[in-house]
Structure 1
């Protein structure tokens, strides 16, 4: 054990997409700042960011029905859909900047064009989908969306889903070609490779054990080398806690008032995965349905084309599960040790208010493989059990806190918690998560470095051209951004057509 303390400007805890994004942005804004990264795993992007631990959807509200809510009067509120879409445009712009400036190579190794679709059954849901389509179609962010309730058209769009389907009720779908499949694991590794080549100190198999405030306002970290069993001490002016489900414990250890009273509830995920080429070739889209009554938003069923290591497969799910772990490679004591005197009543209130969710999770855990295959057959009527394997995905920790809606409210979004002086920030929550990493990390920068923002503004606009502008007020800017980012990322050809892989569909 050494009492010697290493000083650095910025410490990033966790080597996932959030830390990779924040580190990359800060390196562009202030190249001379020193950055140190601590990650408990052996490599970057091994937890929530890993390509097998998430659905890889570029969340931009093109297909996610839970981002558009139907009001009592029948109107469709698209405000959240617009917000998420605009945030994803930030990500695409920053990724384009990194590609164009040669910071990262080969964008097709992490992003490809895959149509996004919504699919519903039954008269009520078809009417909802049509109203949703009409509301979104008037918005320039959703240009190119199509609607159809014609089974013959749907057979052309989703032959695997339509084959042997008994149509006993109305069905409909929307489709838009500008959707994307993103390998966030590959992107995370690319970003850390670039950071490491630019004198960023990245330490894998290092676990942060404690965080304390120093007298000068900086932060002291006690870090264990998991390979050697030794302990070292590090200090920084600014600390970002981006450890996924592990962030809550570290936020609690920091002792900042803003972190008090916050709890977390872990939800695990599982996918059914098919890698048989003859089946995979019959489906090329991310198709989202509607969540079951009582299901949490992250459990919206969807059948996705995934491209991992340039090989296509199909994912169906997610099926929710429960584990007291806050990380896939975490501890069985994560949940119980997160309960503190400051959040005990909040956690108890959440338990009392979410009995339906608890019942739903218990039901999900008890499902057999054949029962999961039956759920899959709602999407793929002729699905066979032997063609699909069960894959355990990542853990997501949903925020629990007291809000205007009441004590112990379960939150399903992504939230930044930062100290009043901006010297430390933590990211909590889940979906839409990785897709909006650039927008969320820009929020961290604005909240934590307010005195530098004016000086950094021109560089931020170079990285994110729409920064400071409202896209809805400028349809031409939307079109310009789509053209710039889609071509830079290899999503379209010179004619502006989306470069989706061609398949010989068979019915």
Structure 2
């Protein structure tokens, strides 16, 4: 523990990274405690420009409607739906918070960041059709998914997804599910709205082009040393609480803190690319999000999908993502990121994960080596009449999957999110990726409860939390009537009816 006689400004909250996670946490804390002093540090020249920007993520409001990897098939043929139910409830919580912000006029109109786009799952072949039917039978019994439709009828599927069903290359035995409640989200636009609200409040300061170079204990607080990337000028700030929400850059920053809870964590970077359609006639024919099954051995972020998107006011059609490998932890990071993250405390888990995931490594290498014709062949499975001239490559975002110690295997690779909190709750970091931004509100609620436990129990914070999120403290999974009421409210407020 260090001490100093220098006079350093003291703030209540430091947010590292100006993406959707920091923006969500900062907004919630400022509403809960208007007097909080908050500083936000972002290494880029704009907010939400890394993982949150539209082209760097799927833009899907993840709610378990179409993502087949959330519903694994068991050895007896049944389908496990627990993860889909959890993510569906978490997305309902996110929609409630966004609806509260819209209703309170704290952020711009919802049409700027969210719109209704049906979510579909599409498969072919007898085994996959049987799986999808079993998935539909399991999900549709629950009130979250009671409006799900299922069909193997080519005539109906022709109406739902003409682009996929047209052409001589279409598959004979096919099936699809459809949820009209699906959404497309521009998380970059949402982030900008949240940051705009935050910076309009007193005692909130945003510093762009600012890199955090040191995080260390100073008595009961944290001393954050930052550097202006353009000028090289350095300064320090003391904070009672620190949140590291820097996407792929969170792991190195967490390691800088030196907290015991950071030991043993590592990162496995996975990059991605899209094929983006440039033919307006083709774009106009596809108005849904269609998710398929991931190839065996591929990471969850590589689940193929043909997506209708609205990006910067323009209708877009994307296919992918095609997975790849880069040693960068951020799209605008350094090729040395992976190597710098290797420490004595995590080298064994990293080695074990490497040995246990050789097929994944081979898959990523094969993806990197794909030719334009290889990418076109993958697209033609979903759009048989696709022409290479109608599509261009676009680099997607960089994701860092979590590697953590395991008592039996030494180390395991996880594809979800991990919230790492110090024993005293004074510093926290978010590691991992999917489902990420869609469940940001639930993740930040959990973090607030762990790090601000005393305040959360106060009558004032409890009242505000229930005002922000009507279902706070209740279980939408078990309460069909409340879930229906909430969905009606959010559908109206967000204009997605």
Work out whether the TM-score is over 0.5: yes
Of 72, 78, 81, 1:78 maps to 81
Q: Give yes or no for contact 1:346–1:408 (8 Å, CA) kept in 2.
A: yes
1:179-236 deviation per Cα after TM superposition (whole angstroms, max 9, x unaligned): 0000000000010011010131000000000100112x21001100112111101110
Q: Which residue of 1 aligns with 2:333?
A: 330
Q: Which residue of 2 aligns with 1:25?
A: 28
Q: Which residue of 2 aligns with 1:416?
A: 419
Q: Which residue of 2 aligns with 1:204?
A: 208
CA distance in 2, matches of 1:270, 1:390: 7
1:370-393 deviation per Cα after TM superposition (whole angstroms, max 9, x unaligned): 110110000000000010010001
Q: Which SS does the other structure have where 1:76 is aligned?
A: coil
Q: Give yes or no for contact 1:4–1:232 (8 Å, CA) kept in 2.
A: no
1:274-329 deviation per Cα after TM superposition (whole angstroms, max 9, x unaligned): 13221111001110000011111111100000011221111100100111000000
Deviation of the 1:20 alpha carbon = 0.2
Deviation of the 1:474 alpha carbon = 1.3
1:374 aligns with 2:373: no
CA distance in 2, matches of 1:149, 1:354: 36
Deviation of the 1:75 alpha carbon = 1.3
- Moved segments of 4+, more than 4 Å: none
Give RMSD over aligned pairs. Answer: 1.0
Deviation of the 1:143 alpha carbon = 2.2
Of 473, 487, 492, 1:482 maps to 487
Of 75, 84, 99, 2:102 maps to 99
Q: Which SS does the other structure have where 1:235 is aligned?
A: strand
Deviation of the 1:4 alpha carbon = 5.4
Q: Which residue of 2 aligns with 1:239?
A: 242
1:135 aligns with 2:103: no
Q: Which residue of 2 aligns with 1:450?
A: 453
Q: Which SS does the other structure have where 1:178 is aligned?
A: coil
1:268 aligns with 2:274: no
CA distance in 2, matches of 1:77, 1:39: 40
Q: List aligned pairs for 1:26-425, cutoff 5 A.
A: 26-199=29-202, 200-215=204-219, 217-403=220-406, 406-425=409-428
CA distance in 2, matches of 1:313, 1:94: 27
CA distance in 2, matches of 1:473, 1:418: 29
CA distance in 2, matches of 1:452, 1:12: 19
Q: Give yes or no for contact 1:55–1:315 (8 Å, CA) kept in 2.
A: no
CA distance in 2, matches of 1:231, 1:306: 41
Q: TM-score scaled to structure 1, two decimals?
A: 0.95
Deviation of the 1:167 alpha carbon = 4.6
CA distance in 2, matches of 1:308, 1:180: 13
CA distance in 2, matches of 1:422, 1:286: 39
Q: TM-score scaled to structure 2, two decimals?
A: 0.97
Pick closer, same or farther for the CA change 1:467–1:76 going to 2, 3 Å. same
Pick closer, same or farther for the CA change 1:62–1:404 going to 2, 3 Å. farther
CA distance in 1, matches of 2:408, 2:238: 39
Aligned length: 489
CA distance in 1, matches of 2:15, 2:170: 53
Deviation of the 1:405 alpha carbon = 5.8
Deviation of the 1:165 alpha carbon = 4.2
Q: Give yes or no for contact 1:78–1:135 (8 Å, CA) kept in 2.
A: yes
Q: Give yes or no for contact 2:291–2:306 (8 Å, CA) kept in 1.
A: yes
Q: List aligned pairs for 1:5-16, cutoff 5 A.
A: 5-16=8-19
1:351-408 deviation per Cα after TM superposition (whole angstroms, max 9, x unaligned): 1111001000000000011110110000000000010010001100001012356222
Unaligned runs of 5+ in 2: 1-5
CA distance in 2, matches of 1:332, 1:211: 23
Deviation of the 1:69 alpha carbon = 1.2
CA distance in 2, matches of 1:130, 1:197: 50
CA distance in 2, matches of 1:397, 1:358: 14
CA distance in 2, matches of 1:50, 1:165: 37
CA distance in 2, matches of 1:439, 1:168: 40
Q: Which SS does the other structure have where 1:472 is aligned?
A: coil
CA distance in 2, matches of 1:6, 1:369: 54
Q: Which SS does the other structure have where 2:454 is aligned?
A: coil
CA distance in 1, matches of 2:221, 2:89: 35
CA distance in 1, matches of 2:179, 2:134: 16
Q: Give yes or no for contact 1:56–1:182 (8 Å, CA) kept in 2.
A: yes
Q: Give yes or no for contact 1:5–1:232 (8 Å, CA) kept in 2.
A: no
Q: Give yes or no for contact 1:115–1:285 (8 Å, CA) kept in 2.
A: yes
